[in-house]
């Protein structure tokens, strides 16, 4: 995806979908665009349009295709032990690439996805190149020994100290090992969007 495309998407879906658009410069540009739009004769978005935008916002934030995201929603709507909203949130957050990002090993989810795809991460000592792999309680996430000396992780300890670690995750910057200490909740892992609206979109 080209950078220019990211900015266009962020103007439509909100700056939170990409880390690079979470800046004062972008916020000011978006504010000016919103004022210009108010001066026109455009009508407000329909309920369907609002649901569609929210769905796109969550999907793009996690970097998923329409099919991938649809599969997560379908699975969540069939959950028997928790609500569809809780099940969807949990499934998205427990992706390996998302956890690598949440820990701080990568600056963005896209970078985390590449990091996993390139074989830098192991789960329970086994190298995995599947970003969507679900991580379970008790599994140990580690930077592969052969990758620890790479420039990619050279200054990680300093960066890790500057970034707060989510309460449901653990990670030791020295050994580069960690994992899930509890399942993510709305309070411990802020959702990327209104998941109630997303479920409503697919329930039509």
What is the DSSP annotation of 115-151? HHHTT-EEETTEE---TTPBP-TTPPEEE-GGGTTSG
Region 15-28: what's the mean pLDDT?
55
**Which position has the higher pLDDT, 80 or 39?**
80
For residues 10-45, b (16+ Cβ closer than 10 Å) or e, as one string?
beebbbebbeebeeeebeebbeeeeeeeeeeeeeee
Percent of the chain with pLDDT over 70: 78
CA-to-CA distance for 183 and 190, rounded, in angstroms?
13
Give residue 199's Cα distance to chain centre. Answer: 18
Which pLDDT does position 37 carry in this prediction? Answer: 54
Q: How far apart are CA 132 and CA 31, in angstroms?
A: 35
Pure H helices in the chain? 3-13, 24-38, 47-61, 66-77, 84-93, 96-103, 109-117, 156-162, 195-202
Span(s) in the chain for CATH 1.10.1050.10: 3-91+192-202
Residue with tokens 């998302």: 98
Confidence at residue 3, expressed as pLDDT on a 0 to 100 scale? 47
Greater pLDDT, 192 or 157: 192
Q: What is the pLDDT of residues 53-74, one digit of tens each?
A: 999 999 999 999 999 999 999 9
Q: What is the pLDDT of residue 4?
A: 45
Residue 32: per-residue pLDDT? 60
Give yes or no for residue 113 having a pLDDT over 80: yes
Q: How far is CA 117 from CA 8, 86, 156, in A?
A: 27, 27, 19
> Fold for domain 3-91+192-202?
Ribosomal Protein S4 Delta 41; Chain A, domain 1 (1.10.1050)
Task: Assign 199 a pLDDT band (cuts: 50, 70, 90).
Answer: very high
**What value does the mean pLDDT take over residues 189-199?**
93
Q: Which of 126, 134, 176 is nearest to 155 (CA)?
A: 176
Q: Which structure tokens are listed for 4?
A: 């220019």
- Mean pLDDT computed over 171-179: 93
Q: What dotted CATH number matches 96-180?
A: 3.10.290.10
Q: What is the SS3 assignment for 124?
A: coil
Q: Quick one: pLDDT at residue 92?
A: 97
pLDDT tens column, 32-56: 655 565 555 445 568 899 999 999 9
Q: Which two tokens stand for residue 96?
A: 């390996």
The reported pLDDT for the residue numbered 159 is 80
């Amino acid at each position: 995806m080209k950078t220019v495309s990211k900015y266009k998407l962020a103007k439509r879906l909100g700056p939170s979908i990409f880390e690079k658009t979470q800046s004062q410069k972008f916020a000011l540009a978006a504010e000016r665009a919103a004022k210009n739009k108010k001066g026109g004769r455009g009508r407000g978005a329909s309920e369907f349009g609002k649901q569609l935008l929210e769905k796109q916002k969550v999907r793009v934030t996690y970097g998923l295709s329409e099919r991938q995201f649809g599969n997560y929603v379908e699975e969540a709507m069939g959950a028997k032990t928790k609500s569809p909203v809780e099940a969807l949130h949990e499934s998205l957050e427990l992706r390996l690439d998302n956890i690598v990002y949440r820990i701080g090993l990568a600056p963005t989810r896209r970078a985390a996805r590449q990091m996993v795809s390139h074989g830098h991460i192991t789960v329970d000592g086994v190298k995995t190149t599947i970003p969507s792999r679900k991580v379970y309680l008790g599994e140990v996430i580690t930077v592969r020994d052969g990758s620890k000396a790479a420039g990619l992780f050279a200054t990680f300890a300093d960066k890790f100290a500057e970034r707060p670690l989510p309460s449901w995750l653990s990670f030791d910057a020295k050994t580069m090992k960690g994992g899930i200490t509890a399942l993510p909740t709305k309070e411990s892992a802020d959702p990327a969007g209104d998941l109630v609206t997303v479920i409503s979109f697919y329930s039509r």
